[in-house]
Structure 1
């Protein structure tokens, strides 16, 4: 049986949302052992107010979905299955009136951390020294991202063997001329580092390994939340070292891109194939058959890119047949007429 208190919390959030221009809720879960239900801080993005819930119980999830379906514009659902509870599978069977959209919190976390670091370093990561604590999903993705931004990245794991395994794996698919991700032991020759980022599932046990690398210019980021002990944080603050917990609101627009006007305009107006003046046209990367005129925009073309060769490319000028040239003339006439 659902507690009355939870229903009252649903209603309180709905009362707030009813006073906003556009409304939405976001339901997520967590890999950590946690309460079955929690109301998270509200958010606002792209003129849309959002109430957020962490739900780790199937009955509570169904109740929340039934309560809000049709009363909010969007229901955002965490697609990452961190528990033995498939939020999206349940949501798609219940939500009938609101727009149901999936979100990937891990990606949002990655984008947020990336932008936080870029902002702090004024988007200049060239040869900056960054220690990434952790060898899991987020730590590995971030290490790859920062290395591609030309930073010197060192991964700290539970053991030297773990560090070596992960760095070797990441270096296998980094671009050819990119510097390699290195294990933490190779950082010892460095006096200080510019950034320390931690992405652990729990509190760090070897904080002392970091102390010699930190000075007043080092920026310490607790990406995993509560990775650092209170004594470590106190020590950093006493030494005037900047320490922050990662706020994933930074990249919230990233999660909403599918519904953004620009993205929807691309799918509705740019991408696909159609017929203009009895001529087949394609745009937005859509591969047309031989003779298809490739344009920049399907609904309102402004430029002829070329004639499709039927295998994913465009014909060279000397390969164009008279029929091809006639098709181009027809489309160029349509463009000039519409403008």
Structure 2
């Protein structure tokens, strides 16, 4: 028999989910719900801000137990077309498995919200610095999943990236690994910091991605330049004392709004993405000549085109290994087939 607390929890979740479902203004097919987790300590169930973009309307939830996940998904099933399921193992909770066993009507789409957060941070920084992040001195506070991915992204963009956290050994190890996988000719390497107080008026920005709340104190302010950017990516990472002193140095403080990354989350649903697999990618025949498109590895001599359903361009002749034959290696048959396909394309215009 279900306990009173269990029944009360279910009633609470049902009420909140139905309220969010009632908020959807457009009763079209482009309705989305996201169900995610967080690595920090959190309540069993929470409602996140709504999102809307590119004709899609999303309601969003956070769960931290299998019971909350099951109840939330059971109510959402069939009431929204798509349910995005967080597949990142932030807790000992397999949301994808739970969804597969509780969702029968809606379309389940696995997604990685951490990657969307990285995209949001990247877009914010490009906009803030007017596309000029190269040579900016950027401090990343944190050594977790998102912090590491963003450090790599910014180093690839040419920023001077420094990483700091309370666990220097972890910072050192992660920085070494990220530097190892940076492109060969990257000039700027990711630098681990052991003592933040050794830096004075050094950084154009500090970006935090830690799971703890109110731990970044005002002792790092001396390392920031006047009017430097402060971007709280982990949300509530900074102490009240930090903000009190920050105003004296005219620091520009923001919290990261992850809605910027919602566009990235929607990519699997966009018409252009689906059209690629339906219309662009494939294999067909023109006068018994095999043509391929969209990344399909053709056999040696196949003609590679830009679009399998509506070809407009010949890319070249396949070498059978995923690449193109050199024009000097064309056989007589290759050249004849190429000419036939080119004439076929011209006749379609």
TM-score range, shorter chain: over 0.9
- Corresponding residue of 1:4: 11
Uncovered stretches (5+) of structure 1, i.e. residues with no partner: none
Give the distance between the partners of 2:61 and 2:33, measured in 1 at CA: 8
By how many angstroms is 1:206 displaced? 5.8
The 1:190/1:151 distance shift into structure 2, 3 A limit, reads farther
- Corresponding residue of 2:210: 200
What is the correspondence of 1:129-278 to structure 2 with a 5 Å cutoff?
Answer: 129-178=137-186, 179-184=188-193, 188=198, 191-203=201-213, 205=215, 207-278=217-288
Contact map agreement 2:201 2:226 (CA 8 A) in 1:
no
Give the distance between the partners of 1:55 and 1:161, measured in 2 at CA: 32
After superposition, give the CA deviation of every residue in 1:210-256 in whole Å (9 maximum; x if it has no partner).
Answer: 12122432001111111111121122134431111111101111011
Give the distance between the partners of 1:94 and 1:52, measured in 2 at CA: 18
- Say which SS state the counterpart of residue 274 (structure 1) adopts: strand
By how many angstroms is 1:335 displaced? 0.9
- 1:75 and 2:98 matched: no
Stretch deviating more after TM superposition (245-254 or 306-315): 306-315
Contact map agreement 2:34 2:85 (CA 8 A) in 1:
yes
- Which of 283, 297, 304 in structure 1 is aligned with 2:314? 304
Moved >6 Å (runs of 4+):
none
Contact map agreement 2:199 2:223 (CA 8 A) in 1:
no
- 1:32 and 2:40 matched: yes
- Which of 92, 98, 106 in structure 1 is aligned with 2:106? 98
Stretch deviating more after TM superposition (255-264 or 311-320): 311-320
- Which of 312, 321, 335 in structure 1 is aligned with 2:331? 321
After superposition, give the CA deviation of every residue in 1:264-320 in whole Å (9 maximum; x if it has no partner).
Answer: 111111123222332211112211111111111111111111211212222222322
- 1:15 and 2:22 matched: yes
Give the distance between the partners of 2:115 and 2:243, measured in 1 at CA: 27
The 1:18/1:91 distance shift into structure 2, 3 A limit, reads farther
Contact map agreement 1:131 1:184 (CA 8 A) in 2:
no
- Say which SS state the counterpart of residue 3 (structure 1) adopts: helix
The 1:8/1:135 distance shift into structure 2, 3 A limit, reads closer
Stretch deviating more after TM superposition (142-151 or 177-186): 177-186
- 1:61 and 2:77 matched: no
Give the distance between the partners of 1:133 and 1:68, measured in 2 at CA: 37
Give the distance between the partners of 2:45 and 2:214, measured in 1 at CA: 27
- Say which SS state the counterpart of residue 180 (structure 2) adopts: helix
By how many angstroms is 1:86 displaced? 0.8
Give the distance between the partners of 1:329 and 1:215, measured in 2 at CA: 63
By how many angstroms is 1:12 displaced? 1.7
Stretch deviating more after TM superposition (8-17 or 82-91): 8-17
By how many angstroms is 1:24 displaced? 1.5
Q: Paired residues, what number?
A: 339
Give the distance between the partners of 2:246 and 2:158, measured in 1 at CA: 27
Contact map agreement 1:307 1:324 (CA 8 A) in 2:
yes
Contact map agreement 2:200 2:224 (CA 8 A) in 1:
no
Give the distance between the partners of 2:298 and 2:282, measured in 1 at CA: 9
Stretch deviating more after TM superposition (25-34 or 199-208): 199-208
Stretch deviating more after TM superposition (145-154 or 322-331): 322-331
The 1:215/1:291 distance shift into structure 2, 3 A limit, reads closer
By how many angstroms is 1:191 displaced? 2.9
- Which of 110, 119, 130 in structure 1 is aligned with 2:118? 110
